[in-house]
Amino acid sequence: MGSGKRGLLTAALTVVCAVTVLAAPGTAFAAPAPTPTPTTGGSPTPAPTPRPGKDLGEIREKLDTLYHDAAVATDAYNAAEEKAEKQSTEIVALAKKIDQGRQRLDRLRNQAGAAARDQYRTGGLSSTAQFLLSDDPGQFLDGAGRVLQGQQAATKLMAEMNRTQKELREYAADASARWKKLDANRKAKAAAKKKIEKQIDAAEKLESRLEKKEKERLAQLEREAADKAQTAWLDTGALKDVGGKASVQGKKAVKYATEQLGKPYVWGAEGPDSFDCSGLTSQAWATAGHAVPRTSQEQWKQLPHVDVKDMRPGDLIIYFDDASHVAMYIGDGAIIHAPRPGRTVTIAGAGSMPILGVVRPDA
């Protein structure tokens, strides 16, 4: 959040406090274990025990779990950030209404004060009293009209003052409630950030203990798992009837996503230099002129669902049972996505991860 927004929010909080007082009345491939080698003695040499943490199949599963949990926490972080931004904007708008209400109330009080001063200048006699003491018929009738006008004006003035004070109390209560929600979302965002950092740190430490050849073998296992999943998906005939053409907006979204290839994954990022998975898809569609929810889970909840056989380039494919990952379909069984920390925006097989479903932003 920028310093300008923080300044507005600080001012808003000050106004709220003042008015409150004023108005109160993946499949894993396990690395094969070496087979025992007989010795010339008599007793066979036992198979070497894998070093703790160095079974690459287990490491890959552990990394998948850590990065998946980080992705779930990233969605929670993004959701809290989106809500906080919206609430901040609403609070600033309320603060402006409160300030305008205070100015209106000050003007009404000045009018009431002017009326009181005028009464003082006439000797403390009200218009009604002066009217009753008059012996001049013309003055009597003229005074009658003035009394009636004065009474109407006073009634209107008091009603407007009461209405303004009521509005101020309501605005103050609303702003106070929104501040509480904003504070709760900030705490949720902080907790999600802590979890993200914890999961990513654990994954990076796990990978840092691997030697160069082990890292290369681990990368190979990841590719093999993705290829196997993609092949299995294609073998189901999922793409047999897929041939939809991208809409005009879909083409723009695909073009934007393609232009981001090679940029790094950074959790919570939505461009222009880095992205997380839903940051990429939401910005691609925003650029295409169609706003979509910020998180993969909300994209799954709010956007229209379409069958896989009906999908077309520009559609979003949601992955995993918890909708924790999203990618953009670009045709020919391929997607563009921001995979995870340590990776860049890339092209992959649409079936390389467990598909939850497909949504269409411009349905």
Q: 65 exposed, middle or buried (CB, 10 Å; 0-12, 13-18, 19+)?
A: middle
Q: Which amino acid is at 255?
A: K
How far is residue 297's CA from residue 80's CA, in Å, rounded to a whole number? 13
Question: How far lies 58's CA from each of 27, 72, 164, 221, in Å?
Answer: 11, 21, 67, 11
Q: Which amino acid is at 271?
A: G
State residue 333 phi and psi, 5-degree precision: 75, 20
Q: Which residues pair with 326 in a beta bridge?
A: 318
Nearest alpha-carbon partner for 95 in 176, 22, 210, 155: 176
Write down the residue that tokens 């798992």 correspond to: 225
* Catalytically active residues, by annotation: 277, 325, 337
Q: Which residues pair with 318 in a beta bridge?
A: 326, 357
